[in-house]
Chains A and B, each alone.
Chain A
Amino acid sequence: MIIRSFLARFFSTLVTLFGVAVVVFVLVRIAPGNPIAMMLPPGATEEDVARLRALYGFDKTLIEQFFVWLGNVIYGDFGTSITMRLPVSELVLQRLPATLELSIMALVIALVLGGSLAVFGARFRGRAQEVGVDISTGAALSVPDFLWGLLLILAFGVAWPVLHISGRVDPHMDVDLTTNFYFFEGLLLGDFALVSSVLSHMLMPALALGLPLAAMIAQLLKQSLKEQLDQDYVNLARVRGHGETHVILSEALRNAALPTLTLIGVQFAFLIGGTVIVERLFAYEGLGNMAIDAVINRDLPLIQGIVLLFAVLFIAINLTVDLTYSLLNPKLRHD
């Protein structure tokens, strides 16, 4: 039964993926503006135009072009960037680590901050502390990541300038790494000068992305913690001599975390989408920033590649969350 439901879920995901590919392809192909014309030097002949059109496959029908493109994509060939004259897959892979590091940092911030606020609010439920948590999370939720970024720039870039508001790393720093995971590889190599430079650039965009999610986690987790804390198994733990904080952390938290987990997964997928504008805001050299440049320069293959990658990430994360949820919940596992 489990395998069958997994297969159904997987098949459904494939259909969604195909739909995503169609939308990406159609949108980019109906874009006005002739990208070929932009690539040619002045004085190019008709023949040159035809050669280039054939090279990029623009001479076939739209449906043919779609399946050629889709076939290539499946083999990892996303075409060649028009402005940078490099394979899209290469460009994207170069930038992906920066975006992943930023998203993971944001997720960690959201988990730690949201989780502690939830436990704190549940520990002091019905008192002023809980009202404080409610008000601050309510406000944090109403403000989208773009505005958080701007507010943070004012706070930690201008009023109290302790963090960098542009870039990913100190431009004077000599970065000599094998991967583009500056933060993780820096940590592994023990290069703390690099790590602290990366952190001082990444912290603000990560906070901007993570604060709304932290608020969401805090609200939902606190609510489910409070529901759990009224249950008799928690009362039994209290009678057995455990303090309130211990009861929350070791008895109630795991049960309360299950509904929150789904939310975190889905919201993490949205959070990755949020990197687009936040990277732009902080001139952070990730995928999102590159995507907006590609749109402005009408670099069709590059746009296609990046949009597709974001969509696939979104779908993959949602699928993972579903599967993890059913593995973690003993009730579902046994049914």
Chain B
Amino acid sequence: MTETQNIISAPRQRHRAVNYRLWLPLTWLSLVFGAAIFAPWIAPLDPLAQDLLYERLPPAWEQGAEPGYWLGTDGLGRDVLSRIIYGARIAIVVSLIAATAAAIFGSVLGLLAGFMGGWWDRVISRIIDIWMAFPPVLFSVLLVAVMGTGLASVIVAIAVIDWTRFARVVRAETLVQSQMDYVDSALIGGAGRFKTLLQEVLPNVLPAIVALFALEMGIAVIVEAILSFVNLSLSSDAPTWGGMIAEGRATVHYAWWVLVFPLAVLFLTVLSFSQLGEGLKRQFDPVLQ
């Protein structure tokens, strides 16, 4: 078996694959972030402006299109392209805030459970077990129903549900790191437990948190879309990708563009976040390098 080892080394190829995994998603995501930040300047039309004379116009290259409506209009004559661009705003705001909150909350609990052990670990692990038993979509729908619809509810719901993802991974990582000799030597050297946790353990767990953060952004985007899809996010007037998809799903047989364009954008964004997360995971993993 040892004799095969010198033959299967192709580190350069793997390196290229990692970069490609990082750069493609980053390119698309910077486009989405750009659209979110500069929406008022780049959107050709008002995303809320209805025009019943121009309802369900096909995209520009199809027969019956009107100039100016690049990707056509929806059932109320609103410009699909402009709504997608403004939709990026909602998606990015929700996912950034929700993922940050989930990451902070989950990581703190995970660090505590993994490093302190004992009752800390037992209680936190038990809460994670209970949390995991709920189907996430049903849980989020229920939470939004409890808190009332709106952007803040969506953000809180995502953070409240998905902190377990961080807590689990961080707890496991912390457990591994805590058993390393460097932690012992820091403790023997007189550093306090809390200081050791922050200075020695946290930096080693951080890469896992960063990779998970990218994955969580993608999950938050999809959950926001799902909540908008079942009409529990913002009002149906607001330009959300999920809301557009819900309308498109209903009229897909005669106005495919209302579904296809927001779906394509959502698809690429979710795919990019998850590829970025996977790429980062590999990049940080010393074993894979």
Contacting B at CB under 8 A, from A127-149, are 138-139, 141-144, 146-147
B141 within 8 A of A: yes
**Distance, CA A307 to CA B133, complexed state (A):** 10
**Distance, CA A276 to CA B127, complexed state (A):** 23
Cβ–Cβ < 8 Å partners of A158 in chain B: 252-253, 256
B-contact 0/1 string along A267-290, CB 8 Å cutoff: 000101111110011000000100
CB nearest to B245 among chain A residues: A150
Number of interface residues of B (CB under 8 A): 42
From B141, B222, B256, B274, A276 is in contact (CB under 8 Å) with: B141
**Given contact pairs A27-B142, A153-B252, A296-B232, a sample of 14 additional A-B residue pairs in the complex whose CB atoms are under 8 Å apart:** A19-B129, A31-B146, A138-B278, A142-B278, A150-B249, A154-B252, A154-B259, A273-B135, A273-B137, A291-B141, A292-B230, A307-B134, A310-B138, A314-B135
State whether A276 and B137 are in contact (beta carbons under 8 Å apart), knowing that A32-B148, A142-B270, A154-B252 are contacts in the complex.
Answer: yes
**Distance, CA A296 to CA B146, complexed state (A):** 10
B260 within 8 A of A: yes
A23 within 8 A of B: yes
Cβ–Cβ < 8 Å partners of B141 in chain A: 276, 291-292, 295
B49 within 8 A of A: no
B-contact 0/1 string along A1-25, CB 8 Å cutoff: 0000000000000011001100100
**Distance, CA A276 to CA B129, complexed state (A):** 20
Contacting B at CB under 8 A, from A2-61, are 15-16, 19-20, 23, 27-28, 30-32
Q: Are B130 and A274 in contact (CB under 8 A)?
A: no
Contacting B at CB under 8 A, from A64-107, are none
State whether A27 and B146 are in contact (beta carbons under 8 Å apart), knowing that A277-B226, A291-B138 are contacts in the complex.
Answer: yes
- Interface set of A (CB-CB < 8 Å, partner B): 15-16, 19-20, 23, 27-28, 30-32, 138-139, 141-144, 146-147, 150-151, 153-154, 157-158, 165, 230, 270, 272-277, 280-281, 288, 291-292, 295-296, 298, 303, 306-307, 310-311, 314-315
CB distance from A61 to the nearest CB of B (A): 20
Cβ–Cβ < 8 Å partners of A28 in chain B: 142, 146
Q: Are A143 and B252 in contact (CB under 8 A)?
A: no
State whether A142 and B275 are in contact (beta carbons under 8 Å apart), knowing that A15-B126, A150-B263 are contacts in the complex.
Answer: yes
From A23, A150, A307, B259 is in contact (CB under 8 Å) with: A150
CB nearest to A314 among chain B residues: B133
Q: Are B266 and A307 in contact (CB under 8 A)?
A: no
What are 23 A-B contacts defined by CB distance under 8 Å? A16-B126, A27-B142, A28-B146, A142-B274, A144-B270, A147-B263, A147-B267, A150-B245, A151-B263, A158-B253, A274-B137, A276-B141, A291-B141, A292-B141, A292-B230, A295-B232, A296-B230, A296-B231, A296-B232, A303-B145, A307-B134, A310-B135, A311-B134
Cβ–Cβ < 8 Å partners of B226 in chain A: 146, 277
Cβ–Cβ < 8 Å partners of A270 in chain B: 135
**Distance, CA A144 to CA B224, complexed state (A):** 13
CB distance from A151 to the nearest CB of B (A): 7
CB distance from A288 to the nearest CB of B (A): 7
Sort A-B residue pairs by CB-CB distance and give the 4 closest, nearest first: A273-B135, A19-B130, A142-B274, A311-B133
Q: Are A147 and B270 in contact (CB under 8 A)?
A: yes
Q: Are A23 and B136 in contact (CB under 8 A)?
A: no
From B1, B134, B143, A20 is in contact (CB under 8 Å) with: B134
B104 within 8 A of A: no
B167 within 8 A of A: no
Contacting A at CB under 8 A, from B140-176, are 141-143, 145-146, 148
Cβ–Cβ < 8 Å partners of B266 in chain A: 147
CB distance from A152 to the nearest CB of B (A): 12
From A142, A147, A150, A276, B138 is in contact (CB under 8 Å) with: A276
Q: Are A142 and B271 in contact (CB under 8 A)?
A: yes
Most buried by B among A15, A275, A298, A307: A307
Most buried by A among B130, B222, B226, B266: B130
CB nearest to A315 among chain B residues: B133
From B133, B143, B146, A16 is in contact (CB under 8 Å) with: B133
Q: Are A23 and B130 in contact (CB under 8 A)?
A: yes
Q: Are A295 and B145 in contact (CB under 8 A)?
A: yes
**Distance, CA A153 to CA B142, complexed state (A):** 27
CB nearest to B252 among chain A residues: A158
**Distance, CA A150 to CA B226, complexed state (A):** 12
Cβ–Cβ < 8 Å partners of A151 in chain B: 263, 267
CB distance from A233 to the nearest CB of B (A): 14
B88 within 8 A of A: no
CB nearest to B139 among chain A residues: A307
**Distance, CA A308 to CA B88, complexed state (A):** 35
Cβ–Cβ < 8 Å partners of B52 in chain A: none
Cβ–Cβ < 8 Å partners of A295 in chain B: 141-142, 145, 232
**Distance, CA A307 to CA B139, complexed state (A):** 8
B209 within 8 A of A: no
**Distance, CA A303 to CA B134, complexed state (A):** 12
Contacting A at CB under 8 A, from B21-80, are none
CB nearest to B273 among chain A residues: A142
Cβ–Cβ < 8 Å partners of A20 in chain B: 130, 133-134
**Distance, CA A27 to CA B142, complexed state (A):** 8
B225 within 8 A of A: yes
Q: Are B142 and A307 in contact (CB under 8 A)?
A: yes
B206 within 8 A of A: no
B132 within 8 A of A: yes
**Distance, CA A274 to CA B136, complexed state (A):** 8
**Distance, CA A274 to CA B229, complexed state (A):** 15
